[in-house]
């Protein structure tokens, strides 16, 4: 699960930060000022990484705990024509999408932020379009649903949770 990998990285940063602070204090008490300064600078850099990783962990946990749909893979395409395929587990939530350890959030940054714009479901994939005024992204998720009732349930849940109406084709 991708949240575990993010949590593991968070713990590593926390351990390295604690070691850096300890070494900074140790060298400062021994009046080795230059060495203490170097370890202090490293500790500050690790603190910044720790804070960023903590935010990433919070967002990933929020998406994973409130997931609407979890599937094994997704294809991401960006408005510039670039395409990237991820074969990692994907979770769709009210708050965004988690593909591996990459998070795409929507609806969190106010009126001008990233918004979920459209959802389409066909026989093989769910196509989700989201973005802001400058960049639009499209994610294709292999859903693996074979029953029309299951598709209708997912459509209803997506509408209830995100407020975006889903278009169904090919059923």
Range 130-145 average pLDDT = 82
Please give the model's pTM, rounded to 2 decimal places.
0.76
When pLDDT is averaged across residues 55-71 and rounded to a whole number, the result is 89
Q: What percent of the chain has pLDDT over 70?
A: 89
State residue 9's pLDDT score: 94
The CATH topology of domain 67-168 is PH-domain like (2.30.29)
pLDDT given at position 95: 87
Report the C-alpha gap between 85 and 90 in whole angstroms.
12
Beta strand ranges found along the chain (DSSP E): 67-71, 74-78, 83-86, 90-93, 96-99, 102-105, 115-121, 125-131, 136-142, 166-168
Which pLDDT does position 170 carry in this prediction?
80
> Is the pLDDT assigned to residue 104 strictly greater than 80?
yes
Average pLDDT, stretch 140-167? Answer: 85
pLDDT, averaged across the chain: 85
């Amino acid at each position: 699960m991708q949240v575990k990998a993010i949590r593991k990285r968070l713990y590593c940063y926390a351990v390295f930060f604690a070691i850096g602070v300890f070494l900074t204090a140790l060298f400062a008490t021994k009046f080795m000022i230059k060495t203490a300064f170097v370890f202090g600078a490293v500790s500050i850099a690790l603190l910044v990484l720790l804070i960023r990783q903590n935010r990433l962990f919070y967002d990933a946990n929020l998406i994973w705990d409130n997931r609407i749909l979890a599937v094994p893979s997704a294809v991401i395409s960006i408005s510039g024509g670039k395409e990237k395929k991820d074969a990692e587990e994907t979770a769709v939530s009210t708050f965004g999408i988690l593909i591996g350890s990459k998070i795409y959030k929507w609806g969190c940054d106010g009126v001008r932020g990233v918004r979920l714009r459209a959802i389409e479901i066909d026989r093989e994939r769910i196509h989700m379009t989201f973005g802001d005024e400058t960049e639009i992204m499209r994610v294709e998720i292999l859903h693996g649903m074979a029953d029309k009732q299951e598709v209708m349930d997912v459509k209803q849940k997506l509408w209830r949770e995100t407020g975006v109406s889903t278009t169904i084709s090919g059923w």
